[in-house]
Amino acid sequence: MVMVYSVGHISGAHLNPAVTLAFATCGRFPWRQVPAYAAAQVTGSTAASLTLRLLFGSEPEHFFGTVPSGSDVQSLVLEFIITFYLMFVISGVATDNRAIGELAGLAVGATVLLNVLFAGPISGASMNPARTIGPAMVAGRYTGIWVYIVGPITGAVAGAWAYNLIRFTNKPLREITRTGSFLRSARMT
């Protein structure tokens, strides 16, 4: 949440390559910028992981990455689901001008918190390939890493497209409510 409010106005708060890629598939982010963003995201994660390693050492009990606690399939499914929810919320608050933009950081942060509480004990609740790749590279520990690449990417793409399916317009709410069809449909419900 803090990072969304801190850098959202600079970079769109693109801290997650799965989110960046999902936005690109929907035409909401330029494809030509995806590699540079993904490289920056993985570099940031790696630098943070190196910092943690310097501070706390490299003992196995100090691993700050994500590895499945259950089976790879359980973690894959959970990573897909929680990243789907995260991307659905991000799409709603960050790309729909009918949403209250000032609350975007709170909505995204609350979604991450709930996802961590729900899936953390099983998959580690990564939701972000860079968040897993950086620590894995620093520690040389790649157990189940494919789960944290495939799950979040497919979940984010599905979440972005699901939101696009229910977004029936790009018009602001004030323009929609002026139309007769909206008023008729509102009276019918």
What's the pLDDT score for residue 180? 46
Q: Among residues 118, 119, 120, 94, which one has the least CA distance to residue 105?
A: 94
In the predicted model, what is the mean pLDDT of the chain?
85
């229910």: which residue's tokens? 166
Residue 64's Cβ-side half-sphere holds a number of Cα atoms within 13 Å equal to 20
Region 138-142 average pLDDT: 91
CA distance 42 to 135: 10
Q: What global pTM score does this model have?
A: 0.83
In this predicted model, which residue has the larger pLDDT, 129 or 6? Answer: 129
Q: Is the pLDDT of residue 154 over 80?
A: yes
In this predicted model, which residue has the larger pLDDT, 152 or 178? Answer: 152
Q: What are phi and psi of 106, to 5 degrees?
A: -65, -45
Q: What are phi and psi of 167, to 5 degrees?
A: -75, 105
CATH of residue 71: 1.20.1080.10
Structural domain boundaries, residue 95: 2-188
**What is the 3-state composition of the chain as percent helix, strand, coil, each rounded to the nearest 5?**
75, 0, 25
Domain count, the chain: 1
Q: What is the largest CA-CA distance in the chain?
A: 66
In this predicted model, which residue has the larger pLDDT, 95 or 97? Answer: 95
pLDDT digits over 58-90, tens only?
887 778 888 999 899 999 999 999 999 999 999
Q: Is the pLDDT of residue 178 over 60?
A: no
Region 90-98 average pLDDT: 81
